[in-house]
Copies of this chain bind each other. A is one copy, B any other.
Amino acid sequence: MSQTVDRALSILPLLAEGPADLGQVADRLGVHKSTALRLLRTLHEHGMVYRQSDQRYRLGARLIALAQEAMENLDIREIAHPHLVRLNEQVGHTVHLAVYEEGDVLYIDKVDSRYPVRMYSRIGKPVAITVAAVAKLLLADLPEAERRALADKLDYPLYTARSTPNAPAFLKELERVREQGWATDLGGHEESINCIAAPIRGADGRVVAAMSVSAPNVVVTADELLTLLPLVRRTADTISGEYSGRTPVKEVTP
């Protein structure tokens, strides 16, 4: 809509790949160096990019701080957090909370496992969207058309032999997940890690977030993990209730 801003914002994902110098930025944007320079300068003034001592540009600290605030303002996160902690205390495994927003699924909260073997993930990190249990729940709830469109434009990386291979398989899985009201990821992302997940719903019944419990199968088998499902679903329902009861305006994820 606004060319200048559009160009400036396009610089950010580009720098997210790694530091770049002026020429590289200008090239990838398809603009003159002087133009790129002025855009970068403006971004710099706002702390969104940072100029390293070798003159190359990186993403800046302000960006990180902003993102932090963004997450702290998500009220679903605030409501859910104590419940996640309690669940973690009961089961010991890693607990995640994730939301969907226009094509992206992100972890927005996490309570680490008590066991020494931990799953790698990080708050704010985009989720492996085609395999993660939480992603399945969030996408399963989208309107048919949107779900189909999204499934088509996704990549289906084969993390393991049990990863979702393609769009049709994914859509079928989503259908199943939608009907049963919970989801699993059994070694689809990392061979030795299983997850079970349950949806958190708003007052209107739409899924606003999803939570999961993950554990490596050196600690518990998939079957053992599945015995925790009722507890996870109950926790999710409790959060749903609290969330629906409280908020005057509907919030987060359409």
| A residues lining the B interface (CB < 8 Å) | 1-2, 4-6, 8-10, 12-13, 16-19, 38-39, 41-43, 45-48, 50, 52-54, 58-73, 99, 101-104, 106, 108, 112, 122-126, 249-252, 254
Nearest CB to that of A60 among chain B residues?
Answer: B101
Once the chains are docked, how many angstroms separate the CA of A16 from the CA of B69? 6
Is there an interface contact between B124 and A64, defined as CB atoms closer than 8 Å?
Answer: yes
Is there an interface contact between B66 and A63, defined as CB atoms closer than 8 Å?
Answer: yes
Other A-B contacts than A1-B38, A65-B126, A68-B125, 14 sampled, CB-CB below 8 A, are: A1-B42, A6-B45, A10-B46, A12-B46, A17-B69, A52-B249, A54-B250, A58-B70, A58-B73, A59-B69, A61-B99, A64-B67, A64-B71, A124-B124
Is there an interface contact between B9 and A46, defined as CB atoms closer than 8 Å?
Answer: yes
Nearest CB to that of A35 among chain B residues?
Answer: B2
* Chain B residue contacts of A45, Cβ below 8 A: 1, 6
**If A16-B73, A38-B1 touch, does A125 touch B65 (CB 8 Å cutoff)?**
yes
A42 interface neighbour in B2, B65, B103, Cβ under 8 Å: B2
Nearest CB to that of A6 among chain B residues?
Answer: B42
Nearest CB to that of A254 among chain B residues?
Answer: B53
Ordered nearest first, which 7 A-B pairs have the shortest CB separation? A67-B67, A59-B70, A61-B101, A68-B124, A16-B69, A9-B46, A54-B249
Once the chains are docked, how many angstroms separate the CA of A13 from the CA of B63? 10
Is there an interface contact between A63 and B70, defined as CB atoms closer than 8 Å?
Answer: yes
**If A1-B42, A1-B45 touch, does A104 touch B65 (CB 8 Å cutoff)?**
yes
Once the chains are docked, how many angstroms separate the CA of A65 from the CA of B66? 11
Nearest CB to that of A112 among chain B residues?
Answer: B112
Is there an interface contact between A53 and B16, defined as CB atoms closer than 8 Å?
Answer: no
**If A16-B73, A70-B16 touch, does A2 touch B38 (CB 8 Å cutoff)?**
yes
Once the chains are docked, how many angstroms separate the CA of A46 from the CA of B1? 11
**If A48-B9, A52-B251 touch, does A124 touch B2 (CB 8 Å cutoff)?**
no
Is there an interface contact between B53 and A106, defined as CB atoms closer than 8 Å?
Answer: no
